[in-house]
Structure 1
Amino acid sequence: PTAALALTTWSAIAPIARPDPSVFSAATIERGRLLAAVGDCAVCHVGPDALGLAGGRGLHTPFGTVVATNITPDVATGIGTWSYPAFERAMRQGGSRDGHNLYPAHPYTSFTKATDADLQALYAFVMAEPAVTHVPPPTALAAPFDNRVLMRLWNGLFLRQGTLTPDPARSQAWNRGRYLVEGLGHCSACHSPRNALGAEKGGAAHLAGGTVDGWDAPALMALSTAPVPWTAEALYTYLSTGHDAHHGVAAGPMAAVVTELAALPDADRRAMADYVASLGTPNLASEAATARAEALLSRAAVEPLDASALGQRLYNGACAQCHEPTGPTLFGVRPALALNTGVHADRPDNLTRVILEGITEPAHSALGAMPGFATTYSDAQVSALLRYIRARFAPEAAPWARVEASVARVRATLVPSGMVGAAPPVPPP
């Protein structure tokens, strides 16, 4: 298929009676369940009060808020009347059953790489799920992006259809990892920057880091700014547990992703890690990573000469018991701030968000939760704490600029949940 096919004007596909789940084998439905976990369907399409895939979560974009739809097999408010061809068109071409265009917040630009067998299994799983009657609020984008007809032109420019062809020069595990990461896993949807029209940048910018729902998704592997280089083993541990001793704890959307990945066979998580690791420095020895981590932890034990007195007091009072390089582990794990990517990032927004929001839903309960301090600390106090953490745990990095602006920007986006009604994030300066 060529990009020109994406310019096609679609007609409606006739509705069908909801398929009886008994027509699908248990093995097919189970395969679809695992594929839904790879695609993190529940992360975006979760319904109110966690009702299945009933939709309603708002994804905030520079163009407005895109609301996840109800994809349960409810015949009135979900996709219970969708045939497989209608489902396949939505997954591969971004066209709804009734013929209107979907927005690429639904990552069909990645899903198009999935095989026929996997899409059929995913369809079986969705149709076998409980039907939930729920009508989410409509998507609300600013003009002219609220005109879905424009998406036909967008598809012509940016949609490249076709499944992935295995690389015969690579191992079966590497090809499996590539398929999961680049296809249904749609890692690039968060971890790649986007152009002015909201399309992922390719080439050297692929997986070079992006922004999603107010979080900075870091660059992967070769372009990563993590203080300790990632290894395949570290990635596997992180994807399996939500924590790696040399990198920290999964937070924000990534915590939910790790929770979903727990359903996968161990071999799939390892394949994903091996593929992503192949994008970076080859054959990085774990001994080198350990030596780098030890050097950073040793340096972090020294108080910076120009440390903020207020920041130091706040850190000692609220953070040290869980984050000092040495000491007893009180709750779950003891993340080392000197090894944390957010502490070494170019801007403080992720760390600001964690301090204000906390991590109330860790990827696994064994990690322990972190309280948020949004109602405890003022903007000035959070700013002082951020400056102290940066100066002590990333002393080789330049001090963050516009810290107060980061705190105000992040605080303005805080909401109890991701359901619609949340204030959209303030664009960064």
Structure 2
Amino acid sequence: MHSKIIAVEKFHSTILDNDRTIYIYLPSGYEQFADVRYPVLYMQDGQHTFHADERGGSWDLHLAADRLIEEKKIRPIIIVAVSHITDARISEYMHPLPGGEEVFGTKCHGEEYEQFLIQEVKPYIDEQFRTLKGPADTAVMGSSAGGLVSYNLGFRRPDIFGKVGALCPYFVRVEPTGEERWLSKRYKERPPIDIWIDVGEAEGYTVMEKHVRSAVDDMLEAGFEPGRNLWYYYVPGSGHTQKDWADRVHAPLLMFFGEIGQPVKAELAGPDRIGLSGLSARLNPIVTYDSGFVATDLNASYEIGDPSVLGVSPDGKLAPLREGTTTLTYRNGELASTLTVRVVPDLSATVNVSVHVEVPDDTPDVDILYAGIEIPKIGSNLYGGTFPVPRNMAFFFRISRGMGKDEADRDGNEVPMRFFKAKEGLALYYRVENWIDAKGDRQP
């Protein structure tokens, strides 16, 4: 017995007046056990749920589900991966918000997309397959803008979607000027849903931890209970790619459809310096469970070596009191992890980072490159400048001229992602050998 994936091509929406492909994952045993009904997970950006294409990698969600089901860590599930339409993705994933149409220059059709899922996709799935139809057995999940629309679907329609996965949700657009524009309503109530929400450390300005954590704080104030109906994970070293989401998608699957198990490891991440003035900071106590589940503890217990130097609240916020150095120990039952923190007089919120990029002679003429941040052209084959960047902000990226126009090696092949974390005096010099969309290979 094996799982299988069915493609329903040209699935028509009367509400949106367009067609798209929907992929349906059926677990091992679906055809053999005809009296069994299954919970359902609805996924955004469905073309990347099980497969990669020229516009992005794959979550390989079928592989994660196969493994967890075989290990009996989750119930067998049906996964419905709803493809986006490239030119309509942002429009369909954005619910109306005052000023929202100005951000992307397009009308927000999130309400119509919501109706499409609830009135057209879900009835089709419930009719064609043996599903458990109630909200307790119906989850919705996505990443980036797909995480944003999933978040909105959960808060707006908890009667349909009782479980929500919002991976690095695109809550805020940060303009080149530094202006921050929220793209979602800030919900202040607690609907009857269970929610997984996360963000990677190295997503740069694309999705910033402070914005996601602000939404988490809203949920805590609304009465969500961490470890019961709310789980959050601030993921060290993680960027904004399908591979990053594939690496941790097992965690929300365990939360939705299985048992997370017992804690077996604790790790305390956080800054080694904090200022009496300037940059604020928070700890990130990470707990790993015997099932493989992993999350940040939002209501942690700490021991402070010298309480006269530094205070810390259960949510990890640090309160510097005087100059000095102290240890902070996170405890979770028998597990513990310790971090040493030094308090200095001042630590600026931003640092200046110098970035220069040399490109090949035949690079198409563009004014801006993306190298974690936008880099202007300053000369022949050269882009660069010095930029104020939030201290400790991390970036995981490829140098790019735009969508589908990333850097490549001499032979035109994809290159590994680059990484940097902003600190004082950081100077970066990159050389691009080729572009993925270039015709032909570079001659040696």
| TM-score (normalised: structure 1) | 0.27
Where is the helix percentage greater, Structure 1 or Structure 2? 1
RCO greater where, 1 or 2, for CA within 8 Å and sep 6 or more? 1
| TM-score (normalised: structure 2) | 0.27
Where is the strand percentage greater, Structure 1 or Structure 2? 2
